Structure 1
Amino acid sequence: MLPDTLKNYLASHIARDLDAAMQCYAADAEVTDDGKTYYGPDEIRSWLSSATSEYSYTAELIATRQLDPQTYVASHHLEGNFPGGSADLDFTFTLKNNLITRLVIT
């Protein structure tokens, strides 16, 4: 089971609610997606904004697991108008004080 912070983040991300999603991140958080790393609130907000507006897609949470006390993986199946049309992605989150400090999407 995912912690509430991650449930809230994923729901906000899918709903494209940037303000709510950003409340889940620590001030010094970083996100790595597609080989690029984004640092801090400004870069993460910009990444979230472009990630949610570039393509239309649906995301289905297909599995979750906890790797250690701070690290969780949420696996998603995406379908949409991006290259390839579908993808299975792992969102690996690291939490500290109930905030996301790191997200790696693979």
Structure 2
Amino acid sequence: MKLPDNIEGLIKAQNELDSTAFAAYFTNLATVADEGSSYSGRDEIKQWIQQASEKYQMKLRPMDFSQTGSTAELTVEVSGTFPGSPIEMHYHLALDGPLIRSLRITG
């Protein structure tokens, strides 16, 4: 499966547990919605993914990707140190050129 460079980079940053690189794929005013919480801006997104990565050591394996215009959905297998690992998750993305404007994660 061929992924766009920005999505491939986001997955690589997550798998390397690099929260700075992960957050760099988002716009300055981006939002993330995950597990009933939301995070705004690169700093909050960086803190969110850093805490989640430290706690769960999450790794992503892309399973499916589709994109229509500036809207995309990435299906990933997420494994880590959490109950029920691995699980399938859906990343609903709004893109702004090469950057991510919003990310909503669902199970």
Structure 2 length-normalised TM:
0.87
**5 Å matches for 1:1-106?**
1-66=2-67, 68-106=68-106
Q: What residue ranges of structure 1 are gaps of 5+ in the alignment?
A: none
Structure 1's consecutive aligned runs of 4 or more residues displaced over 4 angstroms after TM superposition are: none
In structure 2, relative to structure 1, the CA distance for the partners of 1:58 and 1:5 (3 Å cut) is closer
Name the Cα RMSD after superposition. 1.5
Provide the secondary structure at the position in 2 that maps to 1:54: helix
Distance 1:45 1:79 in 2: 20
Distance 1:49 1:57 in 2: 10
Larger deviation, residues 80-89 vs 27-36: 80-89
Matched positions, count: 105
Percent of aligned pairs sharing the same letter? 28
